[in-house]
Amino acid sequence: MEALENISEEHLRAHFCCESVDRVFGDPETTAFKRRSRLKQALWREQMHLPIGSQPMRVKNGEKSRSLGSRIDLEFAKKSGANFFNDAIRRAVFDRLAKPQPHQTLNEDRLFCDLLSSMPMCFNLFGSLQMDMEKANRAVHAWWPGVPGRVSEVLFEWSPGRRLPGLYLENRSAFDVAFKLELEDGTQGMLGVETKYHEDCKPEEIPSDDRCKRYAEVTERSGVISLESMKSILCTDLQQIWLDHLLALSMLQDTSRQWTWASFAIVHPAKNPSYARSSERYKSVLKDVATFRVSTIESLLAADVLPEAVASEFSRRYLW
């Protein structure tokens, strides 16, 4: 592939990758990362001889569209499954699509045709583990030492429950992938994982009063974050990380006591400066960091627990 350093706008335009959404005001380092990761996907698509996609992904009759190098043509992508490395990963994708959850937010078009999206990346990283619990168990304990029990299930775009009054966060939050654990005492645990690739960590709008009330309840009961820290997180770039973490913490407050252990992990490229900084800042506001983990994609690949072909192709496509 072509070099990804010192990329000009002319070079980006040549590969249909010059996108204003990649420009992060006041953060040239993150801007450069986002541009490089988009170009990386476009170059991979070209190398694989995949037809170029568009913005919007699904073009309606009479609607204006333009080519976008970091996407595959939607019709071709859905027929071929080309966004995924192998048949085992594609089976994990189709298995998830065949089991929709109430109020889920999974965008099927994006999953198949958007090369930059973190959801297909998540399947490419973890999908080969879904049908092999021995391999999944070895991987989880190599990646995150201290996780108890044994992995019994690998679940994608999974939530313990969405929009359930009085349960969990009462919103539509989900983990990108979740590892269900069978614990020694016969109870269950869950490690929820959020994957990031091209994204930058952005300030979020303040949730509604009802949402904030529920989040405050879960936060206070958890003992992991003070209410004062919660207020300082609202409307900042840490809000989404906090809510993802809070989903894991809410599982421990389920009155059914189904879950007796839960933790949350963020996985991002080492070269994504936005999530590297924000994850460390979030960790610094926690009273107890035991339920929060941060890992780089590179560290997961270095553990040498994924199939060699998957790890090699993953590095070639996503990293530099």
pLDDT, one tens digit per residue, over 178-231 is 999 999 999 999 999 999 999 999 999 999 999 999 999 999 999 999 999 999
Residues 64 and 192 in one domain: no
Residues 182 and 256 in one domain: yes
| Residue 242: both structure tokens together | 């906090």
198 falls within a domain: yes
- Residue that is last in its domain, among 18, 45, 72: 72
121 falls within a domain: yes
313 falls within a domain: no
Residues 51 and 191 in one domain: no
3 falls within a domain: no
- Residue that is last in its domain, among 42, 72, 102: 72
Decide if 144 contacts 295 (C-beta within 8 A). Answer: yes
- Residue that is last in its domain, among 45, 72, 99: 72
Residues 68 and 122 in one domain: no
Residues 65 and 138 in one domain: no
260 falls within a domain: yes
| Residue ranges of E strands in 141-199 | 150-158, 175-182, 188-195
| Residue 166: both structure tokens together | 């009085």
Mean pLDDT of 31-56: 98
Report the number of distinct structural domains present in the chain: 2
Residues 153 and 67 in one domain: no
Mean pLDDT of 28-35: 97
Which band of pLDDT confidence, cut at 50, 70 and 90, is reported for residue 62?
Answer: confident
Beta-bridge mates of residue 293: 265
Which band of pLDDT confidence, cut at 50, 70 and 90, is reported for residue 310?
Answer: very high
pLDDT at 78: 98
112 falls within a domain: no
Q: What's the first-to-final CA gap in the chain, in angstroms?
A: 10
Mean pLDDT of 114-138: 98
Task: Give the lowest-confidence range in 5-19, 69-83, 97-111, 118-132.
Answer: 5-19
User: What is the residue range of 218's domain?
Assistant: 117-308
Residues 53 and 161 in one domain: no
C-alpha span between 308 and 299 (Å, rounded): 15
Residues 68 and 121 in one domain: no
pLDDT, tens digit, for every residue of 223-270?
Answer: 999 999 999 999 999 999 999 999 999 999 998 889 999 999 999 999
pLDDT at 2: 55
C-alpha span between 300 and 97 (Å, rounded): 26
Decide if 172 contacts 158 (C-beta within 8 A). Answer: no
Residues 214 and 276 in one domain: yes
Decide if 260 contacts 213 (C-beta within 8 A). Answer: no
pLDDT at 171: 96
Q: Strand, coil or helix: what is 68?
A: strand
pLDDT at 58: 94
88 falls within a domain: no
Decide if 151 contacts 136 (C-beta within 8 A). Answer: yes
Residues 67 and 124 in one domain: no
Mean pLDDT of 37-61: 96
pLDDT at 61: 85
24 falls within a domain: yes
* φ/ψ (deg, to 5) at 114: -90, 110
Residues 68 and 157 in one domain: no
C-alpha span between 200 and 34 (Å, rounded): 8
The angle, 0 to 180 degrees and rounded to 10, between the axes of the packed helices 28-47 and 273-285 is 130
pLDDT at 60: 87
Residues 260 and 158 in one domain: yes
C-alpha span between 191 and 169 (Å, rounded): 17
pLDDT at 191: 98
pLDDT at 5: 62
Beta-bridge mates of residue 23: none
pTM: 0.96
pLDDT at 144: 98
